[in-house]
Structure 1
Amino acid sequence: MEQTFTAVYIVDAFTNELFSGNPAAVCCLEKDFSDSLKRKIAAEMNLSETAFVTIENGETFEKSPKFGLRWFTPTHEVDLCGHATLAAAAIIFHKLGNKEKAIEFNTHSGILKAIQEKDSSITLDFPLNPPSPYQAQNLKDIIRVVAENLEIQDVQHSSTTKKLLLRLADKYKRHDLENLNPSTQELLSYESNGVVKGVIITLQGDANEGYDFYSRYFAPWVGIPEDPVTGSAHTVLAAYWQKVYNKDQFRARQCSKRGGDLNIKIIGQRVKLTGEVAHVLEGKIRIKL
């Protein structure tokens, strides 16, 4: 059995401060690994997502404009992950010397673009995932666990991402959202048929703080009790708040304990998510092929 080493990086995404935002592991593979090995590495990293980037068309990481990209939680592969895409692009741009203005990732969610901005932030070009109104009674136990005793103003569901969106009544403030402490194990007991794979709870923003809306995100169904900052959730949130505010640009804050910020712009059926990163760690994993 061949023993080898592969480079691994850890990046805090949607932040410019170490140990905040959402950490992701990134493995840039000169030679692709089996899915079984990817799952083992992701479980070992034990972060919300590990991104595996592969070279396409025989190019190099330094010169290629196109890559393959897949994301694994410690327990599942997922079809879309924003923060790990941001982390992967940051490694390619900042650590591997790629000078392209924009690169493309071939993923299970189609072609995703990452654009290198002049201020070192990165913009992701993702599909917009508009939610639709949903009957609260159908998932009343999940709503009760997440929102506790707080009043819910709106319930919507994104069929493309399987995310349930709960909007708190406007009378609440950011600290009310931050103080929620739902039992994610209890959530698993109330939904097991695949209708919901994550719950977004959101609140209108505070102009004095410079945010259009706040959110938190829980996804125990894919092995993530609470995700610190979630790009894929903002493909749903952006579409929702676009209708509320009747505008296309937002500043958003995900209010987990780590927290993170996103600048958002909707163009047609696409959404641009711009964020910064903090590079935390780089090293090598010993593996056997």
Structure 2
Amino acid sequence: MQLQIFTVDAFSDRPLEGNPAAVVPLTHDLDDETMLKIANELNLSETTFIHPLDDGHWTESSRFSLRWFTPACEVPLCGHATLATAHAIFDRLGEKHQEEIEFETLGGILKVKRDGKMLVMDFPSNPPKVVDSEPDIFRKIVDACTADLKTRVKEICYTPKAKYILVRLDDSVTVDELKRMTPNFSEMARLHDGSLVIAMGVTLSGDAQRGVPFRYHAYSRFFATWLGVNEDPVCGSWHSVMGPYWASQLGSKEFLFRQCSARGGDVRVSVLDKERVAIAGPAATVMTGYINI
């Protein structure tokens, strides 16, 4: 069997930046084991599998089934791969004049619309709460992740819905120090089995708090060791946590965040209400081809 495949860089308007995801349009049913094997073969942080709903054709349907797989497992929510999939539909598979599409996923109904060159995703909000007396395992994981910066942790927050930890570093930490931070991934995996925490992000206040010319409201990096992805270059679902957290800190609802991995990417976030956030960015197709299975 031959399947079409696209590789799309999300949260970048240029190839070879942002976060890559593979998009596989399905013309036949595939079992879960085969989808996982394909994701493992491609070895990107996420591979998506999509097909039109309501017996529609690609150029006619506005509703699609969407599933996300890392090389290790299926996941319930992924932002950058949703953005990549929407780009593939708008740009390659579907009706080019279409303005909004809807995905049925394990994480619920997700909508994506076009806004010029940007794609805007309507996502569930995941506000984190400060952990005043965190379980001992949380502190150990945070120490392993923040390494030499562990004594400069300002706050630890947790969102049980997403099973994400948010770690805020002290404002004295520089962006370059955040970029140079070297988590101990093997220790993180050894310490915890992923039952309470499946991923964690480390964030830093933005330029306004640093007295430098404004570019970003906050900076971060994101690590999903327990999902088989040590560092996710630019993670959309992570920003469903970043948005409400920084809204509570800065009293604003509109943000431009920078995820400063080696590839890096900019993410626009609008906190719509207590339940939803809009996460926006561009995307670029890098490769098109076929996979034989």
Contact kept, 8 Å, 1:30 with 1:55, in 2: the verdict is no
Once the 2 structures are TM-superposed, how far is the Cα of residue 137 of structure 1 from its aligned partner? 5.6
State the partner residue of 2:110. Answer: 112
SS of equivalent residue, structure 1 residue 36: helix
Counterpart AA for 1:196: V
Q: In the aligned structure 2, how far is the partner of 1:140 from the partner of 1:97?
A: 47
SS of equivalent residue, structure 2 residue 237: helix
Q: In the aligned structure 1, how far is the partner of 2:30 from the partner of 2:101?
A: 22
State the partner residue of 2:122. Answer: 125
Once the 2 structures are TM-superposed, how far is the Cα of residue 136 of structure 1 from its aligned partner? 4.3
Q: In the aligned structure 1, how far is the partner of 2:258 from the partner of 2:57?
A: 36
Contact kept, 8 Å, 1:198 with 1:221, in 2: the verdict is yes
Runs (4+) of structure 1 exceeding 6 A deviation are none
State the partner residue of 1:23. Answer: 20
State the partner residue of 1:250. Answer: 255
Once the 2 structures are TM-superposed, how far is the Cα of residue 30 of structure 1 from its aligned partner? 2.1
| More displaced 10-residue stretch of structure 1: 128-137 or 215-224 | 128-137
Once the 2 structures are TM-superposed, how far is the Cα of residue 193 of structure 1 from its aligned partner? 5.2
Contact kept, 8 Å, 2:194 with 2:226, in 1: the verdict is no
State the partner residue of 1:228. Answer: 233
Counterpart AA for 1:100: Q
Query: How much is the aligned-residue C-alpha RMSD, in angstroms?
Result: 1.1
Q: In the aligned structure 2, how far is the partner of 1:137 from the partner of 1:90?
A: 41
CA displacement 1:19-41 (0-9 Å, x = unmatched): 11000000011222111110011
2:113 is aligned with 1:141: no
Once the 2 structures are TM-superposed, how far is the Cα of residue 124 of structure 1 from its aligned partner? 0.6
2:48 is aligned with 1:51: yes
Compared CA separation, residues 193 and 73, structure 1 to 2 (3 A): closer
Contact kept, 8 Å, 1:55 with 1:61, in 2: the verdict is yes
Compared CA separation, residues 41 and 193, structure 1 to 2 (3 A): closer
State the partner residue of 2:181. Answer: 180
2:91 is aligned with 1:91: no
Residues matched between the structures, number: 283
Aligned match of 1:266 in 265, 268, 271?
Answer: 271
Aligned match of 1:281 in 270, 287, 290?
Answer: 287
Q: Which structure 2 residues correspond to residues 198-237 of structure 1 after superposition, within 5 A?
A: 198-207=199-208, 208-237=213-242
Name the TM-score, length of structure 2 as normaliser.
0.94
Aligned match of 1:240 in 238, 242, 245?
Answer: 245
Q: In the aligned structure 1, how far is the partner of 2:113 from the partner of 2:286?
A: 21
Counterpart AA for 2:283: V
Q: In the aligned structure 1, how far is the partner of 2:77 from the partner of 2:223?
A: 15
Task: State, as a whole percentage, how many aligned pairs show the same letter.
Answer: 39
Name the TM-score, length of structure 1 as normaliser.
0.95
Contact kept, 8 Å, 1:62 with 1:97, in 2: the verdict is yes
Once the 2 structures are TM-superposed, how far is the Cα of residue 209 of structure 1 from its aligned partner? 4.4
Once the 2 structures are TM-superposed, how far is the Cα of residue 17 of structure 1 from its aligned partner? 2.0
CA displacement 1:241-260 (0-9 Å, x = unmatched): 11000111000000100000
Contact kept, 8 Å, 1:9 with 1:281, in 2: the verdict is yes
State the partner residue of 2:30. Answer: 33
List gaps (5 residues or longer) in structure 2: none
Compared CA separation, residues 6 and 189, structure 1 to 2 (3 A): same
Compared CA separation, residues 137 and 39, structure 1 to 2 (3 A): closer
SS of equivalent residue, structure 2 residue 238: helix
Q: In the aligned structure 1, how far is the partner of 2:181 from the partner of 2:59?
A: 44
Counterpart AA for 1:125: D
Contact kept, 8 Å, 2:148 with 2:181, in 1: the verdict is no
State the partner residue of 2:160. Answer: 159
CA displacement 1:118-169 (0-9 Å, x = unmatched): 2x22111100011111134622211111112320111000101111110000
